[in-house]
Structure 1
């Protein structure tokens, strides 16, 4: 009889197509994954996976076995999950959360405050969003949930729920020598700007300006907004950022907040996840917790 743990290893390697990613999902070392995979190879008398430039690819036998193996393990895991109760007050679960800069500024403080009271032993690991990688990270288990503007990211395998609509605003230091009142479009374009890298999903501003046949002068490009406080307070740079983040800076820094002098469509911030079969109750609780906190922002 085949050890069920070997089947679990097989399924995760098949889905991730990468031994190291499978090890992370299984919380095992790479040698342990390889060892268990070799046991199954010996039992089935087939290599099951062959190396390629991206990781590993399944053999024909592996492709034929995966559907039945996957269905069987899913039924077993559902039965086990049904017999267990996730208790956030005592759980030591680690949740891997991908956040955009907006999430870091607006969601994270409220999330930590909530967890400290309602789930004091749960640990959160934050990863910076890369829009080109987020689907892969959710599917292979590197992330449990990702919160960001996914409007321009196609993720056919991912579940997504919009949590609020956002719009962009502009901030400048209160002592800015030229921007003390609502800037005109000409004034906005005349100034130098700090901007966030497009890989994080913030592309609306420059796309809209391009549509208008215009371009702003970006002097500083950053990976996220959360490091901007000292930059804004010590320079004449303008920063265009989501309204909720702008309001945070207005409360905590010497800045003025202005409407943009041109129209930009609002965007939706969403909670995104992949429907893994394992740990369903815990993941469902975490997603619902994030949605509830966002309602209060």
Structure 2
């Protein structure tokens, strides 16, 4: 069977859209449709059924996808392995999705590493949207994603845990009502800064809900990195991962940290990627580099 037809099938299956598949393959839509029809004739199955939002795979398509995907991956992996990728001279651009914890913990060390090992490589950072990250990885919009994926189901994505985290609470050091410890009553009486739920930070609200409790959120922000100035001039509390809290403690004398006055499960921050067949060697190098950096954090 023509390898090009298999690539067209895999691309349509992953994008669920003829137009998007054509863009990814750098082909016209009529060309993609023509090749799909050839494959339909060979397999004697329609493979994809048109729907309002795109196409839906048939039963046979679902059965063929893992086989075809692995075949493409193996062939292009073999080709890529003999093609040189030299990070020290490469001008490639990588796009990485990072949660706020990833921004705080990984980004400075990653930039320091690249300055020495790959000075011409460009990194673009995208804010994580937990509901979209799987498709972003599949479509190639992201090369890697580092975030708390424990509440996100991503069956097609490869995942590797980099560390385990827990939530704590911080406030300004001279808070008028909070000193050495934080009681549950005080926690619920104070105003809070929360991180948008679209980034995956939903555990605090979910835990309080199981206790029939609710905190008063006065400010909602997209990520933790904007909090420094707000904490300095307000009495609001922030519940955030301990590594992010330690970052604020390290860089400010006007922040204090409290253990939460209720029990919350820890969570795992993971490195996530999709086994696309393009640029295999380069993305493998990036994933291995990020993994190694986390081992020293």
Q: CA deviation at 1:247?
A: 1.0
Residue aligning to 1:93: 92
**Partner of residue 257, structure 1:** 257
Q: Give the deviation of 1:49 after TM superposition.
A: 6.7
What TM-score, normalized by structure 1, do the two folds share?
0.85
Correspondence for 1:200: 199
Instruction: Give distance in 1, aligned partners of 2:59 and 2:47.
Output: 8
Classify the secondary structure of the residue corresponding to 1:294.
helix
* Cα 1:9/1:239, change in 2 over 3 Å: same
Cα-to-partner distance string for 1:36-89 (whole Å, 9 max, x where unaligned): 426646977989877532234569998899788756644542331131132211
Counterparts of 1:59-74 in structure 2, within 5 Å, are 73-74=72-73
Query: 1:190 Cα shift?
Result: 0.9
Structure 1 residue 226 and structure 2 residue 225: aligned? yes
Partner of 1:37: 32
Decide whether aligned partners of structure 1 residues 18 and 245 sit closer, same or farther in structure 2, where only a CA change above 3 A counts: same
For residue 115 of structure 1, give the secondary structure of its aligned residue in structure 2: helix
Q: Give the distance between the partners of 1:70 and 1:103, measured in 2 at CA.
A: 30
SS class of match (1:270): strand
Preserved CA contact (<8 Å) 1:195 1:240: yes
Secondary structure of the corresponding residue to residue 261 of structure 1: coil
The alignment partner of 1:257 has SS state of strand
Q: How does 1:240-255 map to 2 (within 5 A)?
A: 240-253=239-252, 254-255=254-255
Deviations 1:19-44 (A, max 9, x none): 55436645x4xxx4436426646977
Of 147-156 and 199-208, deviating more is: 199-208
Q: Are 1:173 and 2:172 counterparts?
A: yes
Which runs of structure 2 are paired with 1:1-297 in the superposition (5 Å)?
Answer: 8-9=7-8, 11-19=10-18, 21-22=20-21, 25-26=24-25, 28=26, 32-34=27-29, 36-37=31-32, 40=35, 52-57=51-56, 73-253=72-252, 254-297=254-297
1:183-226 Cα distance to aligned partner (Å, 9 max, x none):
22211111000011222221222222222232211111122111
Please tell me whether the aligned partners of residues 171 and 255 of structure 1 are also in contact (alpha carbons under 8 angstroms): yes
- How far does the alpha carbon of each residue in 1:103-133 deviate from its partner, in whole angstroms, 9 at most, with x for none? 1122111111111111112121222111112
CA distance in 2, matches of 1:249, 1:24: 43
The 1:151/1:222 distance shift into structure 2, 3 A limit, reads same
Consecutive unaligned residues of structure 2, counting only runs of 5 or more, are none
Q: 2: CA distance between counterparts of 1:167 and 1:175?
A: 24
- Do 1:19 and 1:33's aligned partners in 2 also have CA atoms closer than 8 Å? no
Q: More deviation in 75-84 or 14-23?
A: 14-23
Instruction: Assess if the C-alpha contact under 8 Å between 1:10 and 1:37 holds in 2.
Output: no
TM superposition score normalised by structure 2: 0.85
Q: Is the 8 A contact 1:97 1:146 kept in 2?
A: yes
Query: 3-state SS of the aligned residue for 2:213?
Result: coil
Query: Alignment partner of 2:269: what SS?
Result: strand
